[in-house]
Amino acid sequence: MTPLLEGSPPPAAARSLLVPVIGGYLLGSIPVAVLVGRVHGFDPRSVGDRNPGFWNVMQRVGGRSAAPVFAGDLLKGTAAGLLGLAAGRARKGPLRPVAGDGVLPVYAAVGAAMAGHAWPVFAGRKGGRCVLTFAGGFAVICPPAFGLGLGLLAATGVGGRSFARGARVAVFSLPALQLLFAPAAHVAGTGALMSLIGLRFGQAALADRADRRPGRREEPPAR
């Protein structure tokens, strides 16, 4: 029976989660957008929508220069998922969904990487919305659903002439696509991961509203 969401893990299993959780969080905390922005002379946390992620950097320096942010944030989730697989000693083919003893460590590692991206220890707890980190981790969780999501991204992005719209459609379709290959308990775990994305968007909206209050003094840009 799949261990995900079925009560508290036994002590030995809990100890086995320490490596993927700590490792996933540290991987997620690597501030790729901040590092790339620094190379180009700005801090994405103080320009545009102040989100240290791909879209904000791309609007500042263009898609080619922002490509390392896209790849880096995606790979943080993938690396965390693979770390979870190794910690759970799970054996699966490259195109098969995670199953058995690997489920809980993989979900824990990807969730920790998303938390690290959102509240990074290496960047003053000021992180991004963790969409790409989630997508990279989901590629390990359920490769066939991820592949279908890429196809949906291409179709909707080209058809609607908007990569951003295609990306939104693809990401929010992943749980439904996962149902084709994995049990509902796994999809519930994916929904829990996606709730972190919603939390970060909500926090960003509240922060933006607070910054727009009359009389609030503007802080100088970070150097």
pLDDT at 89: 77
Q: Which tokens hold the place of 32?
A: 């790729």
% of the chain surpassing 70 pLDDT: 86
What pLDDT is recorded for position 94? Answer: 72
Task: Determine the average pLDDT of the residues in 184-200.
Answer: 96
pTM of the model: 0.86
Q: Are 5 and 188 in contact (CB under 8 A)?
A: yes
Examine the pLDDT at 14 and tell me if it is beyond 80: no
Q: Which amino acid is at 44?
A: P
Number of other residues whose CB lies within 10 A of the CB of residue 8: 7
Q: Do residues 33 and 43 make contact, with C-beta atoms less than 8 angstroms apart?
A: no
**pLDDT tens-digit series, residues 145-188:** 999 999 999 998 888 788 888 898 999 999 999 999 999 999 99
pLDDT score at 207: 78
User: Which one is predicted more confidently, 196 or 209?
Assistant: 196
State the pLDDT at residue 5.
Answer: 53
Taking the C-alpha atoms of residue 27 and residue 75, their distance in angstroms, rounded to an integer, is 9
Separation of CA 110 from chain center: 8
Q: What is the mean pLDDT of residues 13-24?
A: 84
Instruction: Determine which of 27-31, 64-68, 70-74, 90-94 has the lowest per-residue pLDDT on average.
Output: 90-94
- With 50 as the cut, is the pLDDT of residue 222 above it? no
What pLDDT score was predicted for residue 209? 77
36: Cα within 13 Å, side-chain hemisphere:
26
pLDDT, residue 95, reads 82
Any idea which residue has 């209050």 for tokens? 213
Helix (H, G, I), strand (E, B) or coil at 67: helix
* Closest listed residue to residue 77, CA positions, set 169, 190, 154, 172: 190
The encoded tokens of residue 207 equal: 């922060």
**pLDDT-derived band at 218, boundaries 50, 70, 90:** very low
pLDDT over 50 at 223, yes or no: no
Which tens digit of pLDDT belongs to each residue from 85-140? 998 876 676 789 999 888 999 999 999 999 999 999 999 888 999 999 999 999 99
CB 23 within 8 A of CB 111: no
Show Cβ contacts of residue 48 under 8 Å, excluding neighbours closer than 6 positions.
Answer: 56, 59, 60
Taking alpha carbons only, the member of 43, 39, 33 closest to residue 68 is 33
pLDDT, averaged across the chain: 88
Distance CA 87, CA 157 (A): 36
